[in-house]
């Protein structure tokens, strides 16, 4: 609750208490005094309702968590230059246009990208990621500490408060970790989904080229 809402609530409570005290200490309850008490009670309750509605209309933003770890970019080197540039550009946009602290791309058993606050690595998909693959839809973990399966995200910086698990087909996943609980909006989720669809075709083309030329020798 903000300062203005607290002041409004305090004024309402104080007014109601004073009104009741005035009624109890009055030597005689005249009709005029009773009418004044009722009106004063309505005004006090109205101030308290204004404070509550004020808080709902202007909710206090969750506090940003100070994550431990260095800021950096880890990008797999054996990727085509065009894909490397796309991953670098997209991850930077997610970090600047959304309240994200970390972006991680896991594709076919490899971590191709991690940017932002870096964790110790070693992410392995678990039950939550598999559920996202099965449904084909993103899973938003608005307060990660409340989810029993959060151990699979230990490769991310310790203390991550919120996370979006965005599947990329059945072969990969994008993880977008936020600075605070419930920090991502629907537009952030839509932006992440759109970018995952864009890079999915490039990743699949990368797999196709690897299958057609498994030795890695350039064709002439």
- pLDDT tens per residue across span 73-114: 999 988 999 999 999 999 999 999 999 999 999 999 899 999
Q: Which of 97, 98, 99, 94 is nearest to 174 (CA)?
A: 94
Same structural domain, 7 and 77: no
How many domains in the chain? 2
Q: pLDDT digits over 32-81, tens only?
A: 888 888 888 888 888 888 888 776 655 555 677 788 888 999 999 889 99
Same structural domain, 96 and 150: yes
Q: How far apart are CA 183 and CA 98, in angstroms?
A: 9
Domain that holds residue 166: 71-212
Same structural domain, 92 and 162: yes
Residue 62 lies in a domain: no
Q: How far apart are CA 164 and CA 192, in angstroms?
A: 9
Same structural domain, 115 and 206: yes
Same structural domain, 93 and 166: yes
Q: Which of 11, 32, 57 is the last residue of a domain?
A: 57
Q: What is the DSSP string of 142-209?
A: SSGGG-TTGGGGTTSPTT--EEEEEEETTTEEEEEEESSTT---HHHHHHHHHHHHHHHHHHHHHHHH
Paired tokens of 123: 């992410």
Q: How far apart are CA 116 and CA 119, in angstroms?
A: 9
Residue 219 lies in a domain: no
pTM above 0.75, yes or no: no
Same structural domain, 133 and 169: yes
Q: Are 136 and 167 in contact (CB under 8 A)?
A: yes
149 exposed, middle or buried (CB, 10 Å; 0-12, 13-18, 19+)?
A: middle
Same structural domain, 173 and 89: yes
Q: How far apart are CA 151 and CA 1, in angstroms?
A: 33
The whole-number pLDDT of residue 211 equals: 45
Residue 155 lies in a domain: yes
Same structural domain, 33 and 94: no
Q: In what order do the strands lie in the sheet with 162-168?
A: 71-75, 110-117, 100-107, 172-178, 162-168, 139-141
Question: What percentage of the chain carries pLDDT values higher than 90?
Answer: 40
Three-class SS state of 70: coil
Paired tokens of 14: 């104080």
Confidence tier at 208 by pLDDT (50, 70, 90): low
């Amino acid at each position: 609750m903000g300062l203005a809402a607290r002041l409004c609530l305090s004024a309402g409570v104080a007014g109601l208490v004073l009104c009741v005290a005035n009624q109890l200490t009055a030597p005689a309850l005249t009709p005029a005094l009773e009418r004044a008490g009722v009106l004063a009670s309505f005004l006090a309750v109205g101030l308290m309702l204004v404070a509550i509605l004020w808080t709902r209309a202007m909710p206090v933003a969750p506090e940003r968590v100070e994550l431990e770890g260095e800021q950096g970019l880890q990008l797999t080197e054996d990727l085509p230059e065009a894909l490397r540039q796309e991953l670098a550009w997209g991850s930077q946009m997610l970090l600047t246009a959304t309240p994200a602290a970390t972006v991680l791309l896991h594709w076919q058993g490899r971590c191709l990208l991690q940017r932002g606050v870096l964790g110790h690595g070693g992410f392995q998909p678990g039950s939550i990621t598999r559920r996202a693959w099965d449904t084909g839809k993103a899973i938003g973990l608005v307060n990660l500490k409340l989810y029993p399966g959060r151990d699979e995200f230990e490769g991310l910086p310790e203390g991550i408060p919120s996370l979006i698990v965005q599947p990329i087909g059945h072969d990969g996943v994008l993880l977008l970790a936020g600075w605070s609980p419930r920090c991502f909006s629907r537009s952030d989720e839509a932006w992440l989904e759109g970018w995952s669809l864009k890079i999915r075709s490039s990743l699949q083309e990368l797999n196709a080229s690897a299958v057609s030329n498994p030795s890695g020798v350039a064709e002439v």
